Amino acid sequence: MPTLLNPYLGFRDNAREAMTFYQSVFGGELTLNTFGEFQASEDPAEAEKIMHGMLTANNGLVLMGADTPNGMDLASGSSISVSLSGDDEAELRGYWDKLAGDGGSVTVPLEQAPWGDIFGMCTDRFGTAWLVNVNGAQAAPAT
């Protein structure tokens, strides 16, 4: 099996809601495991928090996420955006509409970019930054 790099999102206490939302955006199978299932927290208030969530979309996209236990700081000091790119404009616009809508915000509108692609940036209602790029027709190299 080749090495994989998958986004793993951290939440304070709304991973279940966020991962369910992402399933509504991307489809696929969502697996959620709680701290309580694995006796991974001594705090009974955290038993239903998500220790590990994994969404595997039908097209192969994988997104993971979890709640951060109360005793840990929610990661900061680094910034990450999740990037979606490809040739299927309808598919990517569909993702964009769901991520930017319903409480999300648009940072850069999804439109023709100077480099020829369609590009946009948004932040979904859970605070995750997304970059969406629809590959455009590339100019043939000069001969």
In DSSP notation, the chain reads: -------EEEESS-HHHHHHHHHHHH-SEEEEEETGGGT--S-GGGTTSEEEEEEE-TTS-EEEEEEPPTTSPPP-S---EEEEEES-HHHHHHHHHHHHSTT-EEEEEEEE-TTSSEEEEEE-TTS-EEEEEE--PPPPPP-
Q: What is the pLDDT of residues 58-113, one digit of tens each?
A: 999 999 999 988 878 776 656 789 999 999 999 999 999 999 998 999 999 999 99
Strands 105-112 and 50-56, sheet pairing: unpaired
Q: pLDDT tens, 17-71?
A: 999 999 999 999 999 999 999 887 778 888 999 999 999 999 999 999 999 888 7
- The pTM assigned to this predicted structure is 0.86
Structural domains of the chain sorted by starting position, each given as residue range(s) with its CATH number in brackets: 8-67 (3.10.180.10), 81-134 (3.10.180.10)
pLDDT confidence of residue 137: 55
Q: In whole angstroms, give the CA distance from residue 117 to residue 123.
A: 20
Give Cα 141 distance to the centre of its chain.
35
